[in-house]
Amino acid sequence: MTRLRPGFLWGAATAPHQIEGNNVSSDWWAREGLMPGMERSGDAVDSYHRYPEDMRLLAEAGLNSYRFGIEWARIEPVPGHVSRAELAHYRRMIDTALQLGLTPVVTLNHFTLPRWFAEEGGWLGEQALDRFASYVEAAATILGDVPWVATLNEPNMLAMMITAMRAFRAGQMAGWQSPTVEGEAAPREDAAAEETRRPPVLPPPDPEIGRRLAEAHAVAREIVRQHTDAGVGWTVANGAYHALPGGEQKLEELRYVREDLYLEAARGDDFIGVQSYSSQGVDADGLVPHPPHPDNTLVGTAYRPDALETAVRHTWEVTGGVPVIVTENGIATADDERRIAYTGEALRGLFTAIDDGIDVRGYLHWSALDNYEWGHWEPTFGLIAVDRETFERKPKPSLGWLGDVARRGGLPGA
C-alpha cells in the first residue's frame, strides 16, 4: 500500500457562491439576471446557514478535512467597509471544522467579486491590487490557526471567464458558456479549422489577466504569511493536455497560456492546488473537442480518471517540486456508482505518482454537495445530494466509500 505522509488530508471541497445562497453583493448575483442561458444561484443549497450539518456529515463519514471559501462580497460589501459579523461567521465555520476534526483549507477568492470591485474594472482595475490586499488583511485576522490558505481559485479559469465576459459584452457571444461546462461547444482556437469543427465559443485566457492575477496572488501570499502560520498557495485547473500526432508544438504554446504561466507563478509557494477532472488532446490546430459520447460527463467532458495522475506529474515538474494538495477532483454524474469507480481509478493514479516520490499532502474531492455549477444546476458533482426545496441533505454511497478510504488510508484491497 502507498505510504502517505502523516496528516494526509482526506476531504471534500466547496466554494461560497456555489453553496451558500443569496450572495447578493457579488458580481455573479448581478450577472445571473442578465445573461441568456444562465440559471440563477438563488438560495443555492443554503450552506450559509447549514454548514454545521454539512461539516458533520463529512466528519462522520471519516473525512479529516474540508476546503471551503470565504466570500469577499459579504465581508466587504462596499469599499472599505469590513463586516465584523461576516468575519465572525467565517471564523465560526473554521471553529466548527476544527471541533469536528476537519482540517480547514480556506480559499480567499473563488471566482466571485464584490460588485463594486467588478464595477471599478475588476482584476484589471487600477486599484485592484490595493483593494485585494486590504480585503486579505481583514481576512487574515480570522486565519491565525488555519493550516492551509489558497489565495485565488483557478486563476486560469478565472482569466478565461473574464475573457469570455468581454467577448459577450463585445457581442461576440450570444449567451453564457461556462468554461467549466463544455456541453455542445468546446473551445477551438484555430480559425481555419473552425470551418470543419464546432464554432469557437470561448477564447483562450488573456495572459495579461493571468499576469495580473499572479501579482494579486503574490501580494496575498505575503500578507497571509505575515499574519498567520498557514501554508499558502493557489489552486490551478489542470487540463491534462496531451499531444496528438503533429500537436507537440501546439501543446507547448497552448499549455503555457492555459496552465504553465500559473504553475510557474506558484514556485516559492508552500503548496500548489491541483484541480483535475478530465483530459484533452491537442493537434496542430489546437484543442480537439470530444465527440458526443454516452460516457461523457454531465459537463460534456470525457470520462478520464487517469487525468489526475497526469495533472499531478505535470504540476510537480513545472513548479519544480512544490508540495501538492489535490484541492479538487471529481465527476459530474447522476450515477453515484460511476463516481465511486472514477474516484477509485483517479486515486490509483495518484498513489502511483506518490510511490514515484511526488510530495502529495492531501486529496479533497469536488464536491461535498451537489451545487451551483456556474450558471447551471444540472451537473451534479456532490458526495451529498440536496433537495433544493427543503434543503434536506442525503449522503450518497460515495461519501461513505471515500470516508472508508480515508480511515483505511488507501483503497480497498490495496
Nearer to ligand IFM, 103 or 380 (CB): 380
Alpha helices per DSSP H over 21-83: 27-32, 47-61, 72-75
- Per DSSP, the residues of 324-385 read EEEEEE----S-HHHHHHHHHHHHHHHHHHHHTT--EEEEEEE-SB----SS-SS----SEE
Q: List the one residue out of 147, 126, 123, 145 whose CA is nearest residue 217.
A: 123
Q: For this structure, is 154 an active site residue?
A: yes
**CB of 65 closer than 8 Å to CB of 41:** no
Among 154, 259, 309, 328, the active-site one is 154
Q: In what order do the strands lie in the sheet with 286-287?
A: 241-243, 280-283, 286-287
34 alpha carbon, distance to own chain's centre: 24
Q: Which residues contact 10 (CB under 8 A, 6 or more apart)?
A: 62, 63, 64, 65, 362, 363, 402, 405, 406
Smallest gap from Cβ 228 to ligand IFM, in A, equals 24
- Binding-site member from 76, 154, 260, 269 for ligand IFM (CB under 6 A): 154
Q: Which residues contact 183 (CB under 8 A, 6 or more apart)?
A: 177, 299, 300
| 15 lies in the site for ligand IFM, by CB under 6 A | yes
d(CA 211, CA 264): 11
Smallest gap from Cβ 192 to ligand IFM, in A, equals 30
| 366 lies in the site for ligand IFM, by CB under 6 A | yes
Smallest gap from Cβ 278 to ligand IFM, in A, equals 10
| 370 lies in the site for ligand IFM, by CB under 6 A | no
- Residue 190 to residues 169, 205, 283: CA-CA distances in angstroms? 22, 14, 11
Smallest gap from Cβ 216 to ligand IFM, in A, equals 18
Nearer to ligand IFM, 112 or 228 (CB): 112
| 328 lies in the site for ligand IFM, by CB under 6 A | yes
| 27 lies in the site for ligand IFM, by CB under 6 A | no
Smallest gap from Cβ 373 to ligand IFM, in A, equals 5
Residue nearest ligand IFM (C-beta atom): 180
Nearer to ligand IFM, 20 or 328 (CB): 328
Nearer to ligand IFM, 156 or 319 (CB): 156
d(CA 43, CA 56): 21
Nearer to ligand IFM, 204 or 382 (CB): 382
Nearer to ligand IFM, 76 or 154 (CB): 154
Task: Give backbone dihedrals phi and psi of 231, rounded to 5 degrees, phi first.
Answer: -80, 135
Alpha-carbon torsion angle 320, 321, 322, 326, nearest 10: 120
# residues contacting ligand IFM (CB under 6 A): 9
Quick one: cell of 406?
480515508
Reported as type and span, the H/E element at residue 404 is helix 397-408
Smallest gap from Cβ 28 to ligand IFM, in A, equals 11
Smallest gap from Cβ 23 to ligand IFM, in A, equals 13
Contacting ligand IFM within 239-298 (CB under 6 A):
275
Axis crossing angle, helix 397-408 with helix 47-61, rounded to the nearest 10: 50
d(CA 184, CA 254): 21
The pairing of strands 286-287 and 324-329 is unpaired
Nearer to ligand IFM, 154 or 260 (CB): 154
Nearer to ligand IFM, 138 or 308 (CB): 308
Smallest gap from Cβ 144 to ligand IFM, in A, equals 26
Interface residues with ligand IFM (CB under 6 A)? 15, 18, 154, 180, 275, 328, 366, 373, 381
Annotated catalytic residues are 154
